[in-house]
Amino acid sequence: MHVNETDLIAQLKGEKSREQAFKVLVNTYQQRLYWHIRKIVINHDDTDDILQNVYVKVWNNVGNFREDSSLFTWLFRIATNESLNHLQKQKRHSTSSINDTSNYLVENLETDVYFEGDTLEKKLQEALIQLPNKQRIVFNMKYFDEMKYEDISKILNTSVGALKASYHFAVKKIEDYLKEHQD
Amino acid sequence: MKTTNENIEFGLGDRYKRNPFKVPEDYFEGFEARLNNRIKVQQRLKSKSLFITYGKSIVAIAAMLVLALVLTTIQFPNQFKSSETIALAENEELNNSIGQGFMSNLSDDQILAGIAESDQMEPNKITTDNLTNYIADNSSDYEIISNN
């Protein structure tokens, strides 16, 4: 669905048109946002919770949206931050001190009833989980979502050069992991 | 592993680009309704919480006023004695007519003799309790306040 962002933002800020515009916003971006979050937190229930939080935040704060970025960038930025905050909370609740987020995510992957990947796909997810969260997000957005570095840069507020380096290292680590854990 | 100017292609190519994750049936179809419910609940909670916040402020202010009143009572006890008693004690004409109470007109020996007579005791065996009880029985609040 093609949506004119400028018009949509104006309608979101209008009192009478807000509800209808919000409906359009939800329908337009819910799937992209969902999969972006899901690849970060793995678990469906967590993803659902975070996605709702994202939209609630948008509903409460769209009046303060300064329009210095596109609506899409703003939404993805909120989704990324909410996902990272969620993982931080899990780390705080964990009793182990090393690789707290990794253990939580591996457990999510093992117990996720909505994961239907084969052995190799599961190995790839395990390799991804070993990466630092931000590096994993860069890999997801570049490899799976095939986004341009310039767009990723706006969402993550990181330079293109840093993103390229991050992606390069992520690829290297994943290759090493898969070689090491070959059957 | 292929390399390009734009990015480094992952050695496995597109093999792993398939999405291995699934969603529950009709998840996206029902998402908007669930989200709207959540927003409504949040707005209701917000109104409730505002009401509680204001209520707490009012209770806090009332508690502070009560505390101030209690502290003032402790510090200035005379402010809260019976107004009639205070008025009587401050009344100079009444003071003069009663002669500042009969107790002040008696000598110590007369007081002790009075106590001994009423309690049928020898004056030299009168205790502090005997004296206190005698004064309480034979003086009014007015006389005790005015002598303070």
> Which of A30, A120, A175 shows the shortest C-beta gap to B31?
A30
Q: Are B17 and A139 in contact (CB under 8 A)?
A: no
Separation in Å, CA of A149 to nearest CA in chain B: 9
CB contacts, 8 Å: A114 with chain B: 21-24
Name the residue type at position B25: E
Encode chain A (183 residues) as per-residue pLDDT tens digits: 467 888 999 999 998 999 999 999 999 999 999 999 999 999 999 999 999 999 999 999 998 888 889 999 999 999 999 999 999 988 776 665 555 678 889 888 988 889 998 888 999 999 999 999 999 999 999 999 999 999 999 999 999 999 999 999 999 999 999 888 876
Tell me the domains of chain A and their CATH numbers.
1-96 (1.10.1740.10), 116-183 (1.10.10.10)
The 8-class DSSP code of residue A16 comes to T
Please say whether the beta carbons of A138 and A167 come within 8 A: yes
Q: What is the pLDDT of residues B87-129, one digit of tens each?
A: 655 665 555 555 555 556 667 777 666 655 655 556 566 677 7
CA–CA distance from B6 to each of A165, A174, B9 (Å)? 12, 20, 9
Q: Do B22 and A167 touch (CB under 8 A)?
A: no
Q: Confirm or reject contact between A55 and chain B (CB < 8 A).
A: yes
Does A53 touch chain B if contact means CB atoms closer than 8 Å? no
Please tell me whether residue A158 adopts helix, strand or coil conformation.
coil
| CA torsion through residues B113, B114, B115, B119, sign | positive
Please check whether residue A165 touches B, CB under 8 A. Answer: no
Assembly ipTM: 0.88
A160 interfacial to chain B (CB closer than 8 Å): no
Residue reference for tokens 């117990």: A111
